[in-house]
Amino acid sequence: MKHTTDILVIGSGIGGLTFAIKMATARPDLKITVLTKASETESNTKYAQGGIAAVWDENNDNFTKHEDDTMDAGAGLNDPEIVKMVVKEGPQRVKEIIDWGARFDKDKDNEYQLGREGGHSSNRVLHFKDLTGWEIQRALAEKCNDLPNIRILEHYFVLDLITQHHLGRIVTRVTPDITCYGAYALNKKSKEIETYLAKITFLATGGAGQVYKSTTNPVIATGDGIAMVYRAKGRIANMEFVQFHPTALFDARRRNSPDFLVSEAVRGHGGILKTRDGEQFMDKYDKRKSLAPRDIVARAIDHEMKVRGEESMFLDVRHFEPGDFATSFPTINEACLEAGIDPLTQMIPVVPAAHYICGGVVIDHKGATSIRNLYAAGEVTYSGLHGANRLASNSLLEALVFADNASEAVGSMIDQVKPETGIPLWNAKGTTEPDEMILITQSTKELKEIMSSYVGIVRTNIRLKRAIDRINLLNLETEELYKSTIVSPQLFELRNLIKIGYLITSSAQMRRESIGLHFNTDYPDKLGFREITYK
């Protein structure tokens, strides 16, 4: 089945829905189709607890301070011009989603409460309790549903971007001549693979945390967008910078994915990291102690766990005023109680977990990728904002700014784009579940173990070599299975995760330095910036 639309948006998180709203509002004559592989409200955005950073209190904060904090957290590998652009445009973008219905917490004087997280020198994080992402997702979804030219299709798994490859014109390396014409998507209900042709395709598929055994990302975060662009010979950069959130809730009774995130806002509110015997330890690693940037805190917790032989470290909030923790962080409080932990009387056990990919599909300041007519925003991208480590609560801001910039760029050129004709249908008739599902599930488990054991918070050359050898073998086995098996979502997710594992590991091998989120004990010193792009 073949469909045509003016704009195809892949992903229904903050980046995808903001772009769709902007385009639908500016151009009511355009038909906009949003594909999401789960439900409309299931995205990485939904799980963002802490908030969204923007300069709000100009008496105590300014753009320069936010820029400096972002550059410092990113170890100076950020693009300074991109940092300036995002920080300067950020407050206006936040005001827009407030106008669209997003709510943020206010104090008794009806002023917005501004939180502070690791790496921030001022209070500038707007939040809705500990459900900020959920609240933003709600507001954007409701706004989309009010716009008649936006159609959101749930339970569509996008398999591949349509480019010259599907027209028989083989491209073997990164080139500016590649063009995107839409995408092939599996309708998970009908089991049919449908063709969606579009003048413009917008990629907002989120992250890839499911490549690791422990992650705060939802099960849908399998790196689909990055893997699709890689297969299409688009530019991918800096995949070695994987941010591990320092404080995921450790529940020894239940180790399911995703791990529950204990927001950094808890430390911004006064929570203190301690050992089991109540000793503070962060002062040994950074003068900012528990409010140091995430890469530093995650490595510190990882080191303390290893030298002490512990399964976790602990976050102490017992000194909070009675009722303060439950009021400020109701979701976290409930999760702790369900795990048998009373934060009023017990320290919260925490461990680092894969949280955010700072690399991804290379975009310019307008959100344009290296593939013509393909734009992107959010965690799927490498924009230059985060550098070697993302500053807390900058991710939602990044998605808003680049979605806005992309909408302006697309609005000025979409009428000149001529639809491609002669696009073939997908070369498979429907889908069935593979006969050997055990091969897929076991390979997925094996990949997660490889990445967690060898390409985690601390790396060495020998670990990376072992990882790449095993990933290459998994890739060969999985591609053979792909050739002999009719398409299934589980198989495609495995293929995508293997590509992500390969990109992270090979990128880590090429970066012969320790900086930001990439820490290799064989290269202890920072050597300088070098963007790593795959060709």
Contact 411, 217 (CB under 8 A): no
**Burial zone of 203 (CB within 10 Å; 0-12 exposed, 13-18 middle, 19+ buried):** buried
Contact 10, 152 (CB under 8 A): no
Contacts of range 92-97, beta carbons closer than 8 Å, 24 or more positions apart: 93/54, 93/397, 93/400, 93/401, 93/404, 94/52, 94/54, 94/56, 94/126, 94/397, 94/400, 96/400, 96/404, 97/18, 97/136, 97/139, 97/140, 97/400
Question: What pLDDT is recorded for position 529?
Answer: 37
Question: What pLDDT is recorded for position 258?
Answer: 82
Question: What pLDDT is recorded for position 465?
Answer: 98
Question: What pLDDT is recorded for position 527?
Answer: 41
Question: What pLDDT is recorded for position 528?
Answer: 39
Secondary structure E strands in 93-155: 114-115, 125-126, 150-154
Q: How many beta carbons lie within 10 A of that of residue 295, not counting itself?
A: 28
116, 267, 294, 459: the active-site residue = 294
Question: What pLDDT is recorded for position 55?
Answer: 96
- Divide the 535 residues of the chain into consecutive groups of 10 and give the mean pLDDT of each group: 95 96 97 88 64 93 96 94 98 96 92 89 90 90 95 95 76 74 94 94 96 91 97 96 93 72 89 96 92 87 91 95 92 92 96 95 97 97 96 94 98 92 74 71 95 93 98 95 80 96 97 92 64 40
Question: What pLDDT is recorded for position 531?
Answer: 41
Tokens (6 digits) for 178? 């590649």
Catalytic residue status for 294: yes
Report which DSSP code applies to 75.
T
All domains of the chain in start order, with CATH:
2-235+367-416 (3.50.50.60), 242-355 (3.90.700.10), 437-510 (1.20.58.100)
Q: How far, in Å, are 153, 214, 431 from residue 492 at the CA level?
A: 19, 21, 12
Question: What pLDDT is recorded for position 129?
Answer: 80
pTM: 0.89
The number of residues making up the chain comes to 535
DSSP string covering 411-428: HHHGGGPPPP--PPPPSS
Rg (CA), the chain: 22
